[in-house]
Amino acid sequence: MSSRIPTLDIRRFDTDRDAFVAELGASYREWGFAGINGHGIPQADIDAAYGVFKAFFALPEDTKKRYHVPGGGGARGYTPFGVETAKGAKHFDLKEFWHIGREIPDDSKYRDVMPPNLWPDEVPGFREHGYGLYRTLDRLGSKVLSALALHIGLPEDWFADKTHYGNSILRPIHYPPITADDIPNVRAGAHEDINLITLLVGASAAGLEVRSKQGEWVPFTSDADTIVVNIGDMLQRLTNHVYPSTTHRVTNPPGEQARKPRYSVPFFLHPNPDFLIDVLPSTVTPDNPSRYPEPITAQGYLEERLREIKLK
Ligand SMILES: O=C(O)CCC(=O)C(=O)O
Ligand SMILES: [Fe+2]
């Protein structure tokens, strides 16, 4: 496999399915990452969402902090600079972010673990554009999951009823300009994502690096029309590591470049909170015996992991 992470046109899922599924599957087995283009999301929609996110982060710190929910694990609203710390890292990440969750009815059985969204009054259009992007990426993610299911011998719609109330999160991130020299912190320390898959809008701004199987850091700066989609720990566990959740980080740019902010918007696609993550029998072989004899619910797994990254 070359040292370049593949980018594939998702329209081929409809026109050239077998080859597309094979190529996408190969990219994930090797990298845990792929670029997806041909997704049909209008650039104007992405720009509009970025516009409201940037407007929010530009507000005074005191105003932003009104949307921080103490003890809420960062699940909704604003998480200030200096809180999230990659698992096992000494220094906090250089970022602030906002979390948008799924809109569900108050009488839903998931309400206790999927609280209502907060919306900033100061930014007109935040809800419309923010939740619009949430829904768009949820749909695109379902398509990627269909291809991933087919590649390991599951029906195309296997994930549908396991993710239709998924506790998924859209996370607009602001990495402010770095003004101090010689700081030990990085924009985002080396980590793996917790969820099933992540769809990342904005990896066209340099900084994202992916650790190859050989242990090298490979920059993945995508084209503007490309959404980076990677495997998270829940899918790695479900598939007994057939789909690896690959370590990645966001580095501090060199020299003057560090004085520029960076924005990105990952969508963390989660299963329904009560989905039981139990290793798929088709992914267990003599060479790859089950690594997780005990199943765990998605919610149980999430809570364990949030404590590790200091959000809980
Ligand atoms: O900002 C990026 O490009 C990546 C962010 C990321 O990996 C994360 O928030 O999990
Ligand atoms: Fe990540």
Q: What is the pLDDT of residues 242-284, one digit of tens each?
A: 999 999 999 998 888 889 999 999 999 999 999 999 999 999 9
For 200-248, the pLDDT digits (tens) are 998 767 899 999 999 999 999 888 899 999 999 999 999 999 999 999 9
Q: Is 203 in the pocket of ligand 1 (CB under 6 A)?
A: yes
Q: Which residue's alpha carbon is nearest to atom 8 within ligand 1?
A: 266
pLDDT at position 244: 98
| Amino acid at site 6 | P
**Cα-to-centroid distance, 190 and ligand 1 (Å):** 10
Ligand 1: which of 186, 248, 268 to mutate, most ligand atoms within 8 Å of CB? Answer: 248
**Cα-to-centroid distance, 221 and ligand 1 (Å):** 12
Q: Is 196 in the pocket of ligand 1 (CB under 6 A)?
A: no
Respond yes or no on whether ipTM tops 0.90. Answer: yes
**Whether residue 295 has pLDDT greater than 80:** yes
Q: Is 173 in the pocket of ligand 1 (CB under 6 A)?
A: yes
For 142-189, the pLDDT digits (tens) are 999 999 999 999 999 999 999 999 999 999 999 999 988 788 998 999
Q: Which residue's alpha carbon is nearest to atom 9 within ligand 1?
A: 266
pLDDT at position 175: 94
Identify which of 306, 299, 266, 243 has the alpha carbon closest to the alpha carbon of residue 111.
299
Structural domains of the chain ordered from first start: 7-308 (2.60.120.330)
Q: Which residue's alpha carbon is nearest to atom 5 within ligand 1?
A: 266
Rounded to whole angstroms, the Cα distance separating 80 from 250 reads 18
User: Quick one: how far is CA 43 from the chain centroid?
Assistant: 19
Q: Which residue's alpha carbon is nearest to atom 10 within ligand 1?
A: 193
